[in-house]
Amino acid sequence: QVELVESGGGGVHPGGSLRLSCAASGFNFGNWAMHWVRQAPGKGLEWVAFISHDESHKSYSDSVKGRFTVSRDNSKSILFLQMNSLTGEDTAVYYCARDYGDYGTLYYWGQGTLVTVSS
Amino acid sequence: EIVMTQFPATLSVSPGERATLSCRASQSVNTKVAWYQQKPGQAPRLLLYAASSRATGIPARFSGSGSGTEFTLTISSLQSEDFAIYYCQQYSTWPPEFTFGQGTKLEIK
């Protein structure tokens, strides 16, 4: 069955960087667009980034544009999120999600990885 | 940015009763709306896409309607496992700039 497993979260100081990974299995990863979504503690969901199946299209929320970079390695079925210039507002659980095929519906979700930005 | 507004913020309903949750978009999103359910400590789960289509394995008691700017999620007869937070999401924009509503907490009355 489809499985998405995020890793790479942890504590980081303001201004620091982290690279999140999302290992995918149970489907042909290279055929599907992927997303990153985050959820600050006790808050709602915030869409963060999108990447098409072949990396031809990438898109970001205004809150992370210029600081975060989404990428993928289809040969290894891994999705990445490089996060730079982190601030306390980036503290959240980060989820990766597989698109449904309509470039927008988030069908399968990982369990998330917690990123804490604090001095 | 398209703003999605959900109401009410909290809805108290008794088991077995019907629950109606609403979501309004700040501009037309056609039917490009999805609904998700999230329980404490869990990842969200897709319920509906394209405003009214149920995802695989979602019970028939969950239904959706709407187009343009007004959308509704209806749960026809609430079961104990349905008490959770529900989010709407629009995906009408290209390049993608998707947005979620702030959520409706469905609690037991």
In this predicted model, what pLDDT tens digit does every residue of B8-66 receive, in sequence order? 999 999 999 999 999 999 999 999 999 999 999 999 999 999 999 999 999 999 999 99
Which pLDDT value is given to residue A101? 86
- One-letter-per-residue 3-state SS of chain B: CCCEEEECCEEEECCCCCEEEEEEECCCCCCCEEEEEECCCCCCEEEEECCCEECCCCCCCEEEEEECCEEEEEECCCCHHHCCEEEEEECCCCCCCCEECCCEEEEEC
pLDDT at A103 (0 to 100)? 84
Please list the residues that pair with A23 across neighbouring strands: A5, A78
- pLDDT at residue A15, as a whole number: 97
Residue A100 forms contact with B (CB below 8 Å): yes
CB nearest A47 (choices: B92, B94, B98): B98
The Cα–Cα gap between A70 and A68 comes to: 7
Q: Give pLDDT tens digits for A24-35.
A: 999 999 999 999
- Band the pLDDT of B93: cuts 50, 70, 90: confident
Say yes or no: B25 contacts chain A, CB-CB below 8 A: no
User: Which of B43, B94, B98 lies nearest to residue A111, judging by beta carbons?
Assistant: B43
Most B CBs within 10 Å: which of A105, A109, A114, as the mutation test of the B interface? A105
What pLDDT score was predicted for residue B19?
97
Confidence of residue A21 (pLDDT cuts 50, 70, 90): very high
Asked if B43 and A36 count as a contact pair (C-beta separation under 8 A), the reply is no
